[in-house]
Structure 1
């Protein structure tokens, strides 16, 4: 298995080198040259596996045995040792034909833990076995930063710096990042929005001299291992449906801002998981809904919502899907991405739009819809949704059809977004791990959206 760039100008790489590269050196995103096929027989065998065993089975199809089996098994075991559920990602039935996949049982109570606790172990392993200097650099709309910091804080040979939009994440998200007092952690609170933070990150990774000099490594979903680790829970969820529901058409409803989580589902489908449709749930920052509906991909006006982790207008992983939509033609992808850079929009053909709509549906839930769903489901089922998952439930209700089963990805614990929950009149009890955050000292640097100032902060932190 080798990995190539969506823009076709990078020599094929192995698994470990692909992960270390992060953003491809030609500005594209790394993808496998071929997607391995999973047979119905394999799926049947995988029903017997634990989450960790399933993770190892899927990773073995991609990792080229570059990491010895015993080492990989130990890394995976450590990655999920801190999860509060032994299942890692339990499947919960809400109503007939309706499930939620709980992805918030990791140490920071969000789905990003599922991939980022492993990436923390991976980078630690590479630093130790290869003698690599690991300087992790990432942007976050809230959850990625907390999960990444938790995965590597205090680990020798690794430094991590995270940019987040100042006062545009929830208080709990901010505290989870900024109460880390470890010397190897730098939090930059940028006076801007997530897209501003992400723009700086992509520019720094595209500056190959800066990237090499400062040993930059990625934890955002531009890194393929994030995508692959998230693919595991799509298989796990399907395999843990009730037997009768596995015989129906199975849809996954995915709260998505950066297109990484939903692309993981798309990868699972291309591998052979019998997914009927992937339903993208967004909020009022609805660039993905507009693309699926009209074929136009154009960032709009940024809006702050009750679901801040999806307050994104430029979805980085969209390029990976565009590669497959264009028949794996890197030249076409490069032309489209250049057009997006110069003109600010791209429009696909009617024929391509038809293909998109065969694979995806999408809906952008408004703030009021989100709150209504939270209140109604708490009253009707006793289940408290976080606002991102509520956007997913809203999309499920809009697109659920006869003979179809919906699995909505529950991407965060509601305690992370009490600002929104409180607006419904619901009073929730915080888990102890979250309650303790409010008494801790914060460590962060508030900076303007100024690339030069951000670079000065990073260079001082790296010390080289």
Structure 2
């Protein structure tokens, strides 16, 4: 297995070099040169596997044997040894047609833990066996930062800096990042929104001299390993589902940066028989507008009750566009050039029909989000966080009577109590979250200024 850039101007790389590159040196995103296809017979063999065993099976198609099996196995079992559920991502039945895949049983109570606990172990492994210096740089709309920090805090040979939008993440998300006092962690709270933070990150990774001099590595979903690790729970969810071989199965995914839903697209290309991939967004609904109209055009930023999806520029959209354009890197580059110069791109005709065959999408308003939370608490006794509520609203819109749907619970509701409290619901915080409110915070508040952020990075990385 080799990895190539969506823009076609980077020589093919192996697995570990792809991990270390993160954003491709030509500004594109790394993808496998060929997606392996899993036969129905092999899929059936996997039905009895644990999450960890399934992880090892799927990764075996992608790692090129660059990591000895015993080393990979140790990383996998260490990564998921601290999850609160033995299944890692348990499936909860809500009603006859809806299941919720709980992705929040990791250390920071969010789905990002599933990939980032492993990535922390992988980066630590690479640092040791290759003697690499690992300086991780990322931006977060809330959950990635906490999960990434938790994955690498205190690890030798690794430093991590995370940018988050000041005052635009939930209080628990902020505390999970900023109460960490390890010397290898720097939190920069940026006056701006997530897209402002992400733009600076992409510019720094595109500066190959700066990237090389400071050994920058990516931990957010521009790194293909994040995508691949998330693909595992798509397979795991489907294989846990009773009667999945008798009914059509939809998966509804809260999506802001397009990484989680793209993992589902990858699983589908690998042979997982998902009927509908449903994108749930909030009022920052660039992805819904693209699916419905074919226009991809960032709009004005809106703060919502589901802040992890308050994103107008979806980083992983380029990966999907690459496959939509039949893996034509030259055509993809023209589209991305148009997006940069004109601020929008449009697909129509046959291409739009293919988009609408690949995805359904719904942008959920704030009021509807709260209504869904209240409804399911009253009717099913199940408390949804605001992002999961958007996913459930999308399930209600797009699922037919002969279909089963899985909505992804991407975070524990305690992470977003500000929104939950608006419904009149009172919840009890898990002890690890409650304890955060007693800890001092460690962060540097900076202007949305690239030069100032660079100064902070240079001082931190040394």
Same fold (TM over 0.5): yes
Name the SS of the counterpart of 1:305 in structure 2: coil
Measure, in 1, the Cα distance between the counterparts of 2:326 and 2:21: 24
Aligned to 1:430: 429
Report deviation, 1:37.
Answer: 0.5
Name the SS of the counterpart of 2:94 in structure 1: strand
Q: Deviations over 1:421-458 (max 9, x none)?
A: 00000000000000000000100000000000000000
Aligned to 2:238: 238
Measure, in 2, the Cα distance between the counterparts of 1:196 and 1:405: 38
Stretch moving more, 393-402 or 141-150: 393-402
* Alignment of 1:70 onto 2:70: yes
Aligned to 1:13: 13
Measure, in 1, the Cα distance between the counterparts of 2:205 and 2:98: 41
Measure, in 2, the Cα distance between the counterparts of 1:2 and 1:459: 33
* Alignment of 1:197 onto 2:197: yes
In structure 1, list runs of 5 or more residues that go unmatched. Answer: none
Counterparts of 1:200-349 in structure 2, within 5 Å, are 200-243=200-243, 245-349=244-348
Aligned to 1:442: 441
Aligned to 1:115: 115
Q: Deviations over 1:74-101 (max 9, x none)?
A: 0001100110001000011100111010
Aligned to 2:352: 353
Q: Deviations over 1:120-155 (max 9, x none)?
A: 000000001100000000000000000000000011
Report deviation, 1:412.
Answer: 0.2
Aligned to 2:178: 178
Aligned to 1:458: 457
Moved over 2 A (4+): none
Return the TM-score normalized by structure 2: 1.00
Measure, in 1, the Cα distance between the counterparts of 2:42 and 2:98: 26
Report deviation, 1:359.
Answer: 1.1
Measure, in 1, the Cα distance between the counterparts of 2:63 and 2:440: 40
Q: What number of residue pairs does the alignment pair up? A: 462
Measure, in 2, the Cα distance between the counterparts of 1:307 and 1:147: 17
Aligned to 1:36: 36
Aligned to 2:365: 366
Name the SS of the counterpart of 2:38 in structure 1: coil
Report deviation, 1:40.
Answer: 0.6
Q: Are the equivalent residues in 2 in contact too, given 1:80–1:117 (CA < 8 A)?
A: yes
Name the SS of the counterpart of 1:47 in structure 2: helix
Aligned to 1:155: 155
Report deviation, 1:48.
Answer: 1.1
Report deviation, 1:402.
Answer: 2.6
Q: Are the equivalent residues in 2 in contact too, given 1:99–1:406 (CA < 8 A)?
A: yes
Aligned to 2:79: 79
Return the TM-score normalized by structure 1: 0.99
Aligned to 1:411: 410
Q: Are the equivalent residues in 2 in contact too, given 1:295–1:350 (CA < 8 A)?
A: no
CA-atom RMSD in angstroms: 0.5
